[in-house]
Chain A
Amino acid sequence: MSGLTATPAVTGGRRIRVSILLSHPDATVLATLVACGVLFGVFASGFASVDNIRSIVISAAVIACIGLGENLVILAGEIDVSVGSILALAGFAAGPVAVATDNLWLTLAVAVPVGCAAGVINGLIVAWTPVPSIVATLGTLYVYQGIALLLSGSHNVVSVPASASVLGQGSVLGVPASALVVLGAFAVITLWRRNTNAGRDLIAVGANRRAALTMGVRVRRELIVAFTLAGTLSGLAAVMYLGEVGGMETSVIGTNTVLQVIAACAIGGTSIQGGRGTDLAPLTGALLIGVITSGVVVLGVAGVWFQFVYGALILLAVARDRLWQSRKVS
């Protein structure tokens, strides 16, 4: 117990180092991730194979990519429930282009601006009207979902050719390309949040909006930027998804994606009330979901019970920090 609690500085150098490590906001989720990985690696044969880890990373990349943007929105004290619809919208806009031209850059040139535009619309509504973000994006969720369905003409996008699928299936030196793109986006966002005024101010908007306004933070601009990044990254994720799955089904036009994305941010440790969290949260959260999902499958849990285990683990992961805090207090 004492080794895990925050120990006073006088009790010795080694303990201080442990407590500093544990007090880092990413520590518990990383520890959980490692623990889950080791447990599944030991007890589920086939889990630790290169192929399996690769598929975990690839499937987590789409959620992590959208999550990077959603995380910014949550940090700013808002929420965007339309990202799943933006994924579908960008996918159905860019899917036919990918199939027709087999050109990755043209696909990106359609998907990313579509996502960006959708994000800008969300941001403008949230910043300039009194409508709360969960309500505004619930409205745009239905609008984008409807436009996606109209674009699809109720037909799935199928058999995306190889060159346009690079982001989902290709790899550089054995590392999946989608993971590299997500890491690149993560690096850019981290640099932005640490080294620019606008980036540093984002967290103030979420933590205490009145104080931020009083200090001269341009709250509206911060909100628009956050929602725009969420939309843009959802557009990028659509290209990854097209590559990974090789198409886009009309059944994607649902609410599953956004729920997973929000779960990833929360599991990663970002406070759903805003103002507290790290940029790494959606990445670790999405990976943890991916590891658990894959581990449960490899362990041979019957397909129908899978979602039950998944839900229980989400609850545990979300409750983790709370249980942790109450232990510290006692």
Chain B
Amino acid sequence: MRWFPAVRAETATKVGGLALLLVVELAVFTVLSPDFLTSSNLFNVMALDTENGIIALGMAIVIASGGIDLSVGSILALSSVTMGYAVQHGQPVAVAAVVCLLTGVVCGLINGVLVVALRLHPLLVTLGTLALYRGLALGISNGNGFSGFPVSFEYFGQTYIGPVPAQVIVWLVLAVAVYAVVNRTPAGRRLLAVGINEIAASFAGIRVGAVRLAVYGSSGLLTGVAALIYSSRVFSVRGDAGSGLELLAIAAVVVGGASIRGGEISAARTTLAVIVIGVIPDGLQLAGIDTSWQYVTIGFVMVAAIVINELFASRASALWSRASWRRTEMEDAWTDPAGVA
């Protein structure tokens, strides 16, 4: 909707708010530790954030469609475990990598089918598949880790191009791809239409079910990519990997200023938000602060980001901010009880 100046202003201010938050964080951590603001440390942080960043891109798509995916952490575990299983049974690394991506897509599509065919709330579907996929991952791996990969497996998560970790480039390319698809293609329009008003979208001739399937499938695929990079980086696979990732990904999307009710997406803001959250553990550790503080800090940064977003958003364009629905709805009902206006 870039032809609405108000929306563009809102986007610009939200990106500005996040950038401001990041600058403040960088300044604080630089003061606390001289080792923080070095290129090697920053690239290291980016490399560690890559998996969460890629998963958050998928989560942003799901949330934009008006859904939610709690099963991403379990999909990550299942994809990496099936990849380990393939390698263990004599498959070459390339085949195993394809298996990993396919597992992610299939898991995502199963979520989509359950949401579309059974018309169940995505929160409940993915709550169930969260346990289901995790259980499969634990069952297939028999509860054990596997790390007998050939050295060539390092390719996916430990390659450097100059000083830059290769996976960071993959992450940024995927972010640009998501941006392009969402903002420049009919598919992106359909996605946002479904997220804004599902019924109106179906009356406009959009096949809502197909859009939803594609949405959960892409979330699964992106999680599969993250699983590949993650397994290669830590060079082992475990059935209990990635638990709690779903909340971190949702947090990133929300800190990025998207409405949890759907209809909004910004690949740039989501990516920025992942970095805003991701530098916290590293910065605290370098500053020698007890890592117990990291959750409190993440929580407060989250709240700060949301409040900043709300402030900027409502100043810039109260009309277009779907996030402020509750306030406007209450004010409407109080000032105009009959609902005439």
Question: Which residues in A have some Cβ–Cβ distance to B below 8 Å?
Answer: 79, 81, 129-132, 134-136, 138-147, 149-150, 153-154, 209-210, 213-214, 219, 254-255, 259, 262-263, 266, 272-273, 302-312, 314-315, 318-319, 322-323
Contact = CB atoms under 8 A, between A and B. Distances in A.
Contacts of A322: 118-120
Tell me whether chain A's interface is mostly helix, strand or loop, or mixed: helix
B247 interface: yes
A266 B131 CA distance: 15
B132 A315 contact: yes
Interface of B: 70, 114, 118-121, 123-125, 127-136, 138-139, 141-143, 239, 243-244, 246-247, 250-251, 254, 259-261, 290, 292-300, 302-303, 306-307, 310, 314, 323-327, 329-330, 332-334, 337-339
A305 B135 contact: yes
Contacts of A135: 254, 260, 306
A153 B329 CA distance: 44
Contact of B127 (A140, A149, A150, A259): A259
B237 to A, nearest CB: 15
A146 B297 contact: yes
A309 B114 CA distance: 17
A-B pairs, top 4 by smallest CB distance, nearest first, are: A308-B135, A311-B131, A311-B132, A146-B295
B127 A262 contact: yes
A315 B299 contact: no
A311 B124 contact: no
Nearest to A153: B292
Contacts of A255: 243-244, 246-247
B332 to A, nearest CB: 8
Nearest to A140: B299
A149 B295 contact: yes
A52 B83 CA distance: 39
B292 A142 contact: no
Contact of B129 (A81, A130, A132, A311): A311
Contacts of B139: 302, 304-305, 307-308
Contacts of B300: 143
A311 B78 CA distance: 14
A149 B259 CA distance: 30
A137 B78 CA distance: 28
Nearest to A127: B326
Given A132-B260, A135-B260, A263-B127, A307 B134 contact: yes
Contact of A150 (B124, B125, B293, B306): B293
A136 B254 CA distance: 10
A74 to B, nearest CB: 10
A214 B325 contact: no
B339 A318 contact: no
B38 to A, nearest CB: 27
B310 A131 contact: yes
B235 to A, nearest CB: 23
Contacts of B323: 130-132
Nearest to A321: B120
A147 B296 contact: yes
A259 B134 contact: no
